Each structure stands twice: as structure tokens, then as C-alpha cells.
Amino acid sequence: MKKRIVAAFLFISFLVSPYAIADSMLETARDAVILIATKDESGRSGFGSGFLISEDGYLVTNYHIVHRQTEMMIWFYDEEDPKSYTAELIGVDGVADIALLKMTLKPDMLPLTYLEIESESIEVGDRVFVIGHLLGLDWTITSGIISHVNRTTRISSLVRLLQIDAAVNRGNSGGPIVNEDGKVVGVITTTRFDGKGLTVGVGNGVRGDYLNAIVLDLMDDGKIERPAMQVKFKHLSPWNVGKLRKENPGVLFPDVFGLLAVEIKEDAYSYSQGLRDFDIVIGVDGVAIDNMYELSDIIGKKNIGDTMNLTIIREGVTMNLPYVLKNLEFDHVAHFDERMKKQAESEEEGE
């Protein structure tokens, strides 16, 4: 009798194993992932990944995939009858490298398989899957774990990234990072490469909560606005305070942690708000801050036009300074022109 019970238990466990569940989930998720092929004015072609996020045809990908592209076609996974579709660009978030597209739906395409965005439960150690077209190998699935949940973009600390260790290479850009429940916890934006152009186990993607907020804003009016100080800061530590004292012998740098304002010119917005070079911001609205993460968290909860009360140290004197937040100014077209130029030069050198 006991042997029968054990055998039955093992049989049931096999039927509901996590691997069987993952296989089913991944097949569904794969059906929502798209291949994007593009062509620019010069005729140069490119490709990347993306995914469907709604039943009415909204798609997410990276902005750099569609940057200055004049032609764009998309495909869904279909081994028997692959068909190409067109999509229009709805809006972009250059800071996060996100583009929102929308395809025109036809009755024979419905119902669509789409992915939901997870914006709450995202933790280090969670198992994740990446679906995309790495190195030109279409609809490839790789797996790993979340290594970090609080990285920042190369442009701004106002958008947070996930770091994952799943294999990610060129062609994965714009593809989803999916959890075991089949929900999107991030969208691939960047990878780090070795000298031969292959990844070294470090991939980054816009975190689900930030992605969800970006998508909702772009769906609303195709635009993204963010409150910002428009200030360049350096994080203070015992090591770089000593370095700053040597480089600037006439300036008083107290032994504090905080954020050092630098490169403030007279025509800058930050100058009009009262900040000066070497001001040290140690608090906002009565809350002590030590790094850009803490400052960004505070700014992210405010609106354009709100006033923050900064606590600063200037020449050894502590004072309060009201500071009005403005809309973040960022020329994403120029930024990605330069980024794509450097990438092309790097690829030519590697040939």
C-alpha cells in the first residue's frame, strides 16, 4: 500500500513539475515576442526584438532599434506560415531607451497572445528567462537569475535597471525578461561585451515598475516628462574628498558624505536656482541623502514645478536652499546618433 502511495505521489509530482510549467509558459510567452527588421535612409538594415503588451496591438522594444529607421517590419513566431506586419511608432523614452509601437489589427489575427508587466514582485535571485533573437538566432530562450534590481541607465539615475546573468547578446535588444509566472519583469536594453563582441554574463533591462509607468505615459500622449534638477553631481566619500582637496587647495571640503555639485555655469538652470560649484547637498526636505539613488527616489515622487528644500554645505557653512524642479532636458536623437556612430566604429575595428 505504501509503495502505491509513493508511486502515485511521484507521478503527480512529475505532472506538475516546474519544468513542465515553465515549458508551457515559455511557449505562450514566445508567441508574444516579435522579430523587428528595419532599414534606414542609406539602406542599412538591422534587427532586434520586442513583445506585445496588449490585445489592442501595443508593442514594446528599444528605441535604438527604431532610431532614424524609415522602414520597419515585424514577425510573430509561426513555423508554418510566417507573415510580416507593419507597426507605427507611438512614442519614445530616450532616457530609458524604450519605444512604444502599435500595429494595425485585423479580425483574422485575433485573439492575440500578449505579456503582462510585473511591477511589484521583483527580487534578487528570482529565476528569469530572456526571449529574443540573439546573434540572429530567432526566438532563442535563455535563462538565469536576477543579479541586482537597482542599477541605473548610462544617461540618468531616474530610471532603474535589472541586472541578470542570463546569456544576452546583440539581437536580444528590446526583448522581454520574463519570470516564472510568464510576466515581464524587465525589457533588455544593454549588454556588456568581451573584446570579441560576446556577452560576459551581464545584461541590463528596464525594471518592470519603471517600464509600466513609461508605457502608460506613452499610451496617454506619446510623451515622457520627468522632474529633474539638471545638475551634475559627484558622490562624496573619504577617498574622493582627499582627491578633491589636492585638486582644489583653495576650497573647503568638510568630512561629510553627500553629493557635490560640479560644472555649474552662470547660464545653467541650476545656477538660477542658487546652486554653485562645490555646493554639497546633504539633505532634501529634511531627509538626509548620501547618493544619487536616494536623491532620485525623492525626485521621482515629485512633479515638475514642485519646490524641494535642499540642505547644502557651502564653504563650510550649512544652509537651506529652495529648488524648483523642471522638466528633464535630453536630446535623445543627438545622443543616439553619437551612440550608434560609436557602435558602428567599434564593429568596424573588430572586423
Burial of 83 (0-12, 13-18, 19+ CB in 10 A): exposed
Q: Considering the candidates 49, 147, 173, 296, report the single residue annotated as catalytic.
A: 173
> Which residues have CB under 8 Å from 174's CB, separation 6+?
36, 48, 49, 50, 51, 60, 61, 62, 65, 99, 132, 187, 188
Q: Considering the candidates 31, 49, 64, 93, report the single residue annotated as catalytic.
A: 64
Q: Considering the candidates 49, 67, 93, 97, report the single residue annotated as catalytic.
A: 97
Res 253 pLDDT > 70: no
> Which residues have CB under 8 Å from 341's CB, separation 6+?
none
Domains and CATH numbers, the chain: 30-109 (2.40.10.10), 227-327 (2.30.42.10)
Whole-number pLDDT of residue 161: 95
Phi, psi of 48 (to 5 degrees): -170, -170
Q: How far is 75 from 83, CA to CA, in rounded Å?
A: 6
pTM: 0.85
> Contact 178/29 with Cβ under 8 angstroms?
yes
> Contact 233/292 with Cβ under 8 angstroms?
yes
Any catalytic annotation for residue 194? no
Whole-number pLDDT of residue 18: 46
The string of pLDDT tens digits covering residues 208-252 is 999 999 999 999 999 999 999 999 998 887 777 777 777 777 776
Any catalytic annotation for residue 13? no
Whole-number pLDDT of residue 4: 53
Average pLDDT of the chain, as a whole number: 87
Whole-number pLDDT of residue 340: 83
Q: Is 184 helix (H, G, I), strand (E, B) or coil?
A: strand
Any catalytic annotation for residue 133? no
Q: Is 142 helix (H, G, I), strand (E, B) or coil?
A: strand
